[in-house]
Chain A
Amino acid sequence: MGNVVVGSAFRQGMGDITNYALFNAAMAAQSYEPTRIDFPTRQTPDTDSDPTVQTRFGLSGKFSGITASVTNFYLEDDFATTIWSHNHTFNKPQIILNELGGVLPLDRAYGYSNGGWNVGGTLHKLVQLDPIVETVPLRGVTMIEEAMAFVSQTKSLPAGRTPTDLGFGGWKIDMDTFVFENNYRSFFGSEHSAEWIWSLQRTFGVWRALLNSFDILPNPVP
């Protein structure tokens, strides 16, 4: 969520940011780098025939206007962002499910279709569906926040799983095989946010890389 919040702040004009380091970013890589496509056959708002729908409800390029030096700390096998990716596969648009496998009173069903639905005489491409008869639209989705949370499916892996500088010409740091000074290495494997869980001694290479990404010269290794 952190990188979604920061990205939104950039979109709303947050300035005076020189350096931005993304750690395990659970946000579509295509939001930063529009050419990054890992699921080319998916039909999403990004592939809609209506450019207005693409621009408003698509994920592509939403954060590509970031005006800072960007470093992407990624982990290809991160289990948390793996689940993020599966969630997009199965739950975007969201179906009426929860983690218990049942249906709660507040669960919602959503749909996206390039053909759209006629809701009260208006054509809507993104809709909330009747959770019982899932072909029946209840209303159109008009808020971008609701679309991003429940409808818009990614066509790329999350940035935090993708070995890319996200198109910003900055650094990309692989946290699984990151080789540090004198052959010290940080093997995060599939551990999400290991930098917060494991000891500093085990992860200090990544922390030093973070300092470097902020243009800070770290203290010498003793």
Chain B
Amino acid sequence: MKNRNLIMGVVALLLVIAVVFLWPTDQGEALKGDTNSPTLPSVSSAPSGLPPIVSTSTPRANPLVALMQTPIDFYGVVLDHENNPVPSAKVEASVLDNMMKGTPITTTAGADGRFTIKSKGASLHIMVSKNGYYFVGKNGLLRPSSQGFDFGVDNGRGVYQPDAASPVVFHLRKAGNPVPLDALRGQSKVPRDGSPVTIGLSKTSAVAFQISCRTNEDASQAPNAPYDWRCEIQPEGGGIQEVVDEHSFLAPSDGYTQLVMIDMPKSLDRKVWNSRVSKSYWLRFPDNTFGKISFMMNARGDHFAVINGFRNPSPNDRNLEPKLDVR
């Protein structure tokens, strides 16, 4: 039995060797032997409803693969919010140079804030950072700290044109004078019938908010159909006003009102009406301390409000720059 298995194994091995060495190495060569055969790849019939089976020996270049080899010459500069260079800023980039995932590239800005990236790929995403500086988001006058660029073909936002004399600006906001701040945090469900709810915001002081919301949500409407809702926000005994410059840490000295209202009639343009609103507010408390909060109101289903922010515990000090990691 053992010998029989050995013989069978040797025969199988010889067959494999024969197939490997005797098989035609190029189908194109086989076609050349027949003078009636076309020089183009052969096409055979397929069952009805299915595409024809195609073979060819002349593969074409995939334009997507070629796009990933587009030369990248990128010129950037990191500036602070007053347009001064940020030397030695960290530059973290990711280049789309394959079909699976971006390849990371890290470099550092020079003393003049400038940096260069040379690579190959279809897209480039760049994020700059430095200890002691804050990121800048996409809203506002400053250029964001995180931006993306396309190369080779327009992918909806134009193709980046390299210009060493006019580098792309990335802004970072330089930290000023951070001070110890008290956290303000609170969240609560809010009745939809206008009944006020009081939310305590601090574990160390009696800072509280009163919120009321009146909603005329019609249960028979489609889930995303607009409806009338209105919300009033009132710091107990203090003043409030909406934040205009998200990047500012200095609370205004005046301009506060007793309450603010978010009014969302269903007659609003559909692009304006929303069942949820997020806003930032400056606060002035009765002891003349100041604070800054982000406020989110959800006026759908079980209504709720979420408040987060800071308060400077020193009276008359309007500085609200927190001591935080810039990331």
The residues of A with any CB-CB pair to B shorter than 8 Å are: 17-19, 38-39, 66-70, 76-77, 79, 82-83, 85-87, 89-91, 96-103, 105-108, 128, 130-132, 138, 156-157, 161, 165, 167-171, 174, 176-177, 179, 181-183, 185, 187, 189-192, 212, 215, 217-218, 220-221
- How many B residues face the partner with a CB closer than 8 A? 66
- CB of B324 within 8 A of CB of A168, answer no
Asked, given contacts A132-B43, A190-B102, whether A79 binds B300 with beta carbons under 8 Å apart, the answer is no
Q: Which residues of B contact A (CB under 8 A)?
A: 40-41, 43, 51-56, 58-65, 67, 92, 94, 96, 99, 101-102, 122-123, 125, 127, 135, 137-138, 144, 146, 148, 150, 153, 155-156, 183, 185, 187, 189, 222-224, 226, 270-271, 273-276, 294, 296, 298, 300-302, 304, 306, 308-310, 322, 324, 327
Interfacial chain B residues near A99, Cβ < 8 Å: 62, 65, 99
A168 and B224 contacting across the interface, CB-CB below 8 Å: yes
A169 and B226 contact, CB distance less than 8 A: yes
Q: List 28 A-B contacts (CB under 8 A).
A: A17-B223, A18-B301, A67-B223, A69-B300, A77-B123, A83-B64, A90-B63, A98-B62, A99-B65, A99-B99, A100-B59, A103-B59, A107-B54, A108-B51, A131-B52, A138-B52, A169-B273, A170-B276, A176-B138, A177-B144, A181-B308, A182-B309, A182-B324, A190-B96, A190-B123, A191-B102, A212-B296, A220-B187
Taking A38-B156, A77-B125, A217-B302 as given, write out 10 further A-B residue pairs in contact, using a Cβ cutoff of 8 Å, ordered by the A residue number: A76-B148, A82-B122, A82-B123, A132-B41, A138-B52, A156-B156, A170-B276, A182-B310, A185-B135, A212-B296
Most chain A CB inside 10 Å of its own CB: which residue of B63, B65, B224, B306: B224
Give the chain A neighbours of B64 by CB distance below 8 A.
Answer: 83, 86-87, 90-91
Instruction: Provide the bound-state CA to CA distance between A138 and B189, in Å.
Output: 62
In the bound complex, residues from chain A placing their C-beta under 8 Å from that of B43 are 130, 132
Q: Name the CB-closest residue of A to B269.
A: A169
Inter-chain CA distance A107–B62, complex, in Å, is: 13
A212-B276 in contact given A77-B125, A169-B224, A183-B324 (Cβ < 8 Å): yes
Q: Contact: B67 with A86, CB < 8 Å?
A: yes
10 closest Cβ pairs, A-B complex = A77-B148, A102-B59, A181-B308, A190-B125, A215-B301, A177-B137, A101-B62, A38-B156, A217-B304, A77-B125
Cα-based distance from A179 to B246 in the complex (angstroms): 11
| Cβ-defined contact, A182 with B54, below 8 A | no
A86-B155, A97-B60, A217-B189 known; A128 and B51 CB under 8 Å?
yes
Q: How far is the CB of A40 from chain B (nearest CB, A)?
A: 11
> For residue A76, which residues in chain B have a CB less than 8 angstroms away from its CB?
148
Q: How far is the CA of A68 from the CA of B155 in the complex (A)?
A: 30
Chain B residues in 8 Å Cβ range of A66:
224
Contacts of A169 in B (CB 8 A): 224, 226, 270-271, 273-275
Nearest chain A CB to B249's CB is how many angstroms away? Answer: 11
Give bound CA distance, A86 to B300, whole Å.
38
B137 to chain A: closest residue by CB: A177
Q: Report the Cα distance A167→B153, complex, angstroms.
A: 28
Q: Which residue of B lies closest to A176 (CB)?
A: B146
Whether B156 lies near A174 (C-beta < 8 A) is no
Q: Within 8 Å CB of A182, what residues of B? A: 183, 308-310, 322, 324
* B135–A177 touching, CB < 8 Å: yes
Residue of chain A at shortest CB distance from B134:
A183
State in angstroms the CA–CA spacing of A168 and B224 once bound together: 7
Q: Bound state CA distance, A167 and B273, in angstroms?
A: 11
Q: Is the CB of A181 within 8 A of B294?
A: yes
Pair B40/A132 contact, Cβ less than 8 Å: yes
| Closest residue of A by beta carbon distance from B97 | A79
Q: How far is the CB of A159 from chain B (nearest CB, A)?
A: 12
Contact (Cβ within 8 A) B54 A189? no
Q: How far is the CB of B115 from chain A (nearest CB, A)?
A: 17
Are A174 and B138 in contact, with the CB atoms below 8 A?
yes
